[in-house]
Amino acid sequence: MSRPPFAPVSEADVELVSAQLGRPARDVVGIPARCACGAPTVVATRPRLSNGTPFPTLYYLSHPAATAAVSRLEADGRMAELTALLADDAELAAQYRSAHEAYLTDREQLLEVPEIVDYSAGGMPTRVKCLHALVGHALAVGPGVNPIGDRALAECDWTPEVCACAPDLRGS
């Protein structure tokens, strides 16, 4: 299930993502997932930034409540546990490798960047390094593509189906 190309991004979306991140958003090409209120939840970033820097992370979690929930999973040691699970479960490892391939395909639909051609995000395809990127991928493409992102989303105490935005960060 590939996503790009994305619908045009509004200036309001970029401003909201910048407020969520606490810094200017860079080279936003899409908002592939939103909160129940319409606020951006996942940002898609151009594979080569406007300053020329290769940027492998296409999908990234931007929603503050989601980011905090996933950070709690990381702090609880879930990344090491999930990496160990990949080593013990061949079927899960194969699904995760497929998620890696899907991620690469999505990014290459926007732009092929030779420096990052085989690199996806979040530790894929063999380890779990960043649950924020993996949950972002899972939210962007929907359930059933990224098994580790799906698991982390199910385990965290946040859902995009219930708005948990600060009043000044709500969508329209």
Please tell me the distance from the alpha carbon of residue 165 to that of residue 38, in angstroms, as a whole number. 10
- 64 cis-preceded (ω within 30 degrees of 0): no
> Would you state the pLDDT for residue 2?
57
70 to 3, 29, 34, 44, 170: CA distances (angstroms): 23, 23, 16, 18, 20
pTM exceeds 0.85: yes
- Strand, helix or coil for residue 44: strand
Query: What number is the average pLDDT over the span 27-53?
Result: 96
In tens, the pLDDT along 49-95 reads 999 999 999 999 999 999 999 999 999 999 999 999 999 999 999 99
Higher pLDDT, 148 or 4: 148
pLDDT per residue as tens digits for the range 98-141: 999 999 999 999 999 999 999 999 999 999 999 999 999 999 99
Q: Is the pLDDT assigned to residue 169 strictly greater than 80?
A: no
pLDDT in tens, 1-27: 556 878 889 999 999 999 999 999 999
Q: What is the pLDDT of residue 30?
A: 96
